[in-house]
Amino acid sequence: MSIREPRRVTSVVTLAAGLLAGLGLLRAPASAQQAPAPPALEFAFEVRARVADPTVVGRLPTGTRRIVEILGGTFEGPRLRGTLLAGGADWQIVREDGFTDIDARYTLRTDEGHLIYVSNVGIRHAPPDVIRRLNAGEAVDQSQIYFRSVPRFEAADPSLQWLMRSIFIATGERYPNGVVVRFWRVL
């Protein structure tokens, strides 16, 4: 093995790095760059749900299982509006510290008569005293609650395919007899 071979390898690596950098394919480490711009959001619609008092199934190793029946409601946004059908529910696990895993499933019917199935999985948490009051059915300051979810939609009508071809996020607000959920499409 010749002493010159390592130099040739170093030269080839340096040349390759120079070419990649010139093509914009080799970048400085993320810590040396500015953060990329976050994706934009577009408001899709708002659901206003009437809900029943929670049915407490009982304490499990993961927390307390509660089922909150959806009694009905409405939804409205720039591209669609209609009715939230009765019969859905939110299957929750409430942990000892009040942190709540949310798994809501329900059906929307547009004013045109088209059905949209919604599966909305998320989390809700707040300071312990706020959660205690919220779970007791009291009205609380919504700014103290972190309530976020990631919905998925299913719809057969061609005019609603955009719901299944985008990622959405949602914010929620819980009131004594209702929930408001706002859905945002990630652009």
Residue 16: pLDDT over 60 = no
32 pLDDT band (50/70/90 cuts)? low
The torsion angles phi and psi of 163, rounded to 5 degrees, stand at -70, -30
Instruction: Record the pTM.
Output: 0.80
Residues 21, 112 share a domain: no
In whole numbers, what is the pLDDT of the chain averaged over residues?
Answer: 88
User: Taking a C-beta distance cutoff of 8 angstroms, is the pair 48, 178 a contact?
Assistant: yes
Are 120 and 163 in a shared domain?
Answer: yes
173 shares its domain with 146: yes
Q: Kindly state the average pLDDT of the residues 114-121.
A: 98
Which whole-number Å values give the CA distances from 137 to 15, 28, 87, 152, in the listed order? 68, 53, 21, 28
Q: Tell me which residue range forms the domain holding 134.
A: 41-186
Which residue, 187, 151, 158, is CA-closest to 172?
151
Confidence of residue 64 (pLDDT cuts 50, 70, 90): very high
Q: In this predicted structure, which of 7-21, 128-142, 149-163, 173-187 has the lowest mean pLDDT? A: 7-21
Measured CA to CA in angstroms, residue 6 lies from 2, 51, 52 at distances of: 8, 72, 74
